[in-house]
Amino acid sequence: MTAAVPPIVVLLKGYPRLSETFIAQEILGLERAGFDLRLVSMRHPTDRKRHPIHGEIRAPVLYLPEYLYQEPLRVLRALAAGLRRPGFAAAFAAFRGDLRHDLTPNRIRRFGQALVLAAEWPEGAGWLHAHFIHTPASVARYASLLTGVGWSCSAHAKDIWITPERELRDKLAAMRWAVTCTRSGFDHLRRLAAGHDNVFLSYHGLDLARFAPFGGPRSLADGSDPANPVRILTIGRIVEKKGFDILLRALALLPGGLHWRLDHVGGGGAGALRRLAAQLGLEPRIRWHGPRDQAEVLTLYRQSDLFALACRIAADGDRDGLPNVLVEASSQGLPCVSTDISGITELLENDVSGLVVPPERPDAFAGALASAIRDPALRRRLGAAAEARVRGGFDVQSSIGQLQALFTNPTWQEGK
């Protein structure tokens, strides 16, 4: 264990999750740096597959009641224990204040989960770190008040943009520190944390040993040969912010004589998207792989010619920060076409290390795709520049070093 640092409780919304490899690699990196971790998950896993990295993580996992009514005796025992805690009044006051603005079963569930976490607190643990600043940070805030243990948070994307600013201010004032993974998220949280110099920018980074350089040849396909189509890869859960409908509409706008094939990897309900693909006449050119583990995804990066992700801001404000798949694809020299929202332009510079267009513009996205499909030399140039950017600035060891400095800083540990 790292000297003078007691075990750290890492609070997660769900574990393990295929879509959150960045969290798994951070957990593994902290373990390898000498930290003793205890994982606590608010939900049980739903993915049928696991990444190899999950098998390398040694930390034990405690699952909180996903729904309070499913484990009533456990919750009642935790409530009885919580009522006797010196911090109960402060925790209940914070919960009551949140409930005034969010009178929902979800809010009640978070307080119940915090009571269970406090009652079943891992022996010897002296710190609480939450991944995501929305619901996990709510549980962490209440649990911190109940136990008197300091807490911190990693904020990512959706959680920053769909959480009311009032709530973000309260949490930033209550926690010791927060890290976030894009400049846009950092600027937003730093503004809300006025008077609290406790927000830090830390890119997720990538385990570059796991994503070693690809030494194989890249295809010279230019879309002119139906027997040798350009292979386009896209990865992500089928949710609004990923813009897969925009991607399909862009593909439908490509000239008929341009030959390509699309591979989609990711979970979620594909029915509506597949119906759209059929309506647009694209279904014969698309392969739907469903969820895949990291090793399988790495193979697809290396077999593809182009990566595409048409990110957008969803109707409820949800958006990506810097999608990890763009960093992964770039690490393999795979050129990317994407949009200029959130932190994407912190990795991809248009016509330098990728092709970047405005969101919600199938026509602009189609133009970028057509340019990359027709020009294998352009793909090589963009892919090489993107790989150099990742290997020079997105090494996971840098982010682990930043976290290590924060976890061991006595100023934060003592709450000064």
Strand 336-339 with 230-235, pairing: unpaired
Q: Is residue 1 part of a domain?
A: no
Clarify whether residues 358 and 400 are in a common domain: no
Q: Is residue 404 part of a domain?
A: yes
Clarify whether residues 128 and 244 are in a common domain: no
Residue 316 structural domain:
230-393
Q: Is residue 221 part of a domain?
A: no
- 14: domain CATH number is 3.40.50.2000
**Nearest CA to 312 among 343, 277, 358?**
358
Clarify whether residues 234 and 317 are in a common domain: yes
Q: Is residue 261 part of a domain?
A: yes
Clarify whether residues 371 and 404 are in a common domain: no
Return the amino acid letter for 151.
W
What's the pLDDT tens digit per position in 318-360? 888 899 999 999 999 999 999 999 899 999 999 999 999 999 9
Clarify whether residues 401 and 359 are in a common domain: no
150: pLDDT strictly greater than 80: yes
Peptide bond into 16 cis (omega under 30): yes
| Max Cα distance, the chain (Å) | 74
139-167 CB burial, b ≥16 within 10 A, e <16? bbbbbbbbbebbbbbbbbbbbbbebeeeb
Clarify whether residues 75 and 95 are in a common domain: yes
Q: Is residue 212 part of a domain?
A: no
Clarify whether residues 258 and 332 are in a common domain: yes
Clarify whether residues 85 and 176 are in a common domain: yes
What's the pLDDT tens digit per position in 78-102? 999 999 999 999 999 999 999 999 9
What band does 414 get if pLDDT is binned at 50, 70 and 90? low
Clarify whether residues 110 and 176 are in a common domain: yes
Determine contact, residues 407/35, Cβ cutoff 8 Å: yes
Q: Is residue 77 part of a domain?
A: yes
Q: Is residue 225 part of a domain?
A: no
Least reliable range by pLDDT among 144-148, 178-182, 368-372: 178-182
What's the pLDDT tens digit per position in 170-229? 999 999 999 999 999 999 999 999 878 999 999 888 989 899 999 899 999 999 999 999
Tell me the chain's radius of gyration from C-alpha atoms: 23
**Nearest CA to 113 among 134, 95, 139, 91?**
139
Q: How many percent of the chain have pLDDT more than 90?
A: 86
Global pTM value: 0.88
Least reliable range by pLDDT among 28-32, 265-269, 363-367, 403-407: 265-269
Clarify whether residues 106 and 16 are in a common domain: yes
CA distance 290 to 236: 10
**Residue 407 is encoded by which pair of tokens?**
């976890």
At 270 the pLDDT is 84
Q: Is residue 345 part of a domain?
A: yes
If one counts the domains in the chain, the total is: 2
CA atoms in the 13 A half-sphere facing the CB of 86:
3
Clarify whether residues 269 and 351 are in a common domain: yes
Clarify whether residues 86 and 199 are in a common domain: yes
What band does 416 get if pLDDT is binned at 50, 70 and 90? very low
Determine contact, residues 131/10, Cβ cutoff 8 Å: yes
89-127 CB burial, b ≥16 within 10 A, e <16? eebbebbeebeeeeeeeebebbbbbbbbbbbebbeebeb
